Structures are given as structure tokens and as C-alpha cells.
Amino acid sequence: MSAELVALVFDANDPVGLARFWSGVLRREMADDPHDGVVVLPDDDTGFRLRFVPTQEQKLGPNHIHFDLTSASLEEQQETVARALTLGGRHIDIGQLPEDEHVVLADPEGNEFCVIEPGNNFLAD
């Protein structure tokens, strides 16, 4: 039997606030976590949950992993970026080049993520 990815866990100073951000960006439902914190539910049976658990620790330095959110069109990419900014995200500079078409953002607690432009083969199989 192989392992299955069931959840990705975020340590968060404000678990509900951070879950609300990701729920809005990903357009997924939130629910109380039966163990601790709050979850953003997958949109289908093949996805995994995002769990947000409380911590007092502050984020130090860049993340070792980050999300790459894909877009089907330039308009969809722009809508995703606008939605993230409206929900409390912000643009950040991680050394991306001016000609790079992906957008690098951080969530309200500083976790980096990218919104990838349509047609980008970086994530292709």
C-alpha cells in the first residue's frame, strides 16, 4: 500500500484568518478541524485538505515549499491575483526577473506562492 497525501498543515498565528484567505483564493469551503484549528476542504475526492493549526512562533525566512497555482487564461491569472490581494495577500520579490510572467505573492502571514501564467510548461508532466 502506498502513502496518500491527506493534508498539508500550516502553522498559523491566526488559523481562522489564514484559512479564510486560502478558502477565498482557492474558492473552497472551510470547516472546523476535529483535532485542532480549521481546514479548507478539497474540491473533489482526489484533493487534500489544508489544515491551519495555531502557533505562537513567527515565520522566519522563506518557505522551503510553496504553492504554484495554475491559470487557464491570462484573465483567470489576473482574477486570482486580484482576489488574493483583496483578501490580504501582497506582492513580494524573491528575485524573479522582469520578464517572468508568473506572479509571486505572500499570504497574510508571509507564506509565498506563485500564480502561474497560462501555457507555462514549468509544471507540465
Q: What distance in Å separates the CA atoms of residue 23 and residue 43, rounded to the nearest whole number?
A: 11
pLDDT at 52 over 60: yes
User: What's the pLDDT score for residue 125?
Assistant: 52
pLDDT tens for 100-111 read 788 999 999 999
Domains of the chain: 1-55 (3.10.180.10), 65-125 (3.10.180.10)
Q: What are phi and psi of 46, to 5 degrees?
A: -95, -10
Based on the number of CB atoms within 10 Å of its own CB, is 32 exposed (0-12), middle (13-18) or buried (19 or more)?
A: exposed
pLDDT at 113 over 90: yes
Q: What are phi and psi of 5, to 5 degrees?
A: -80, 115
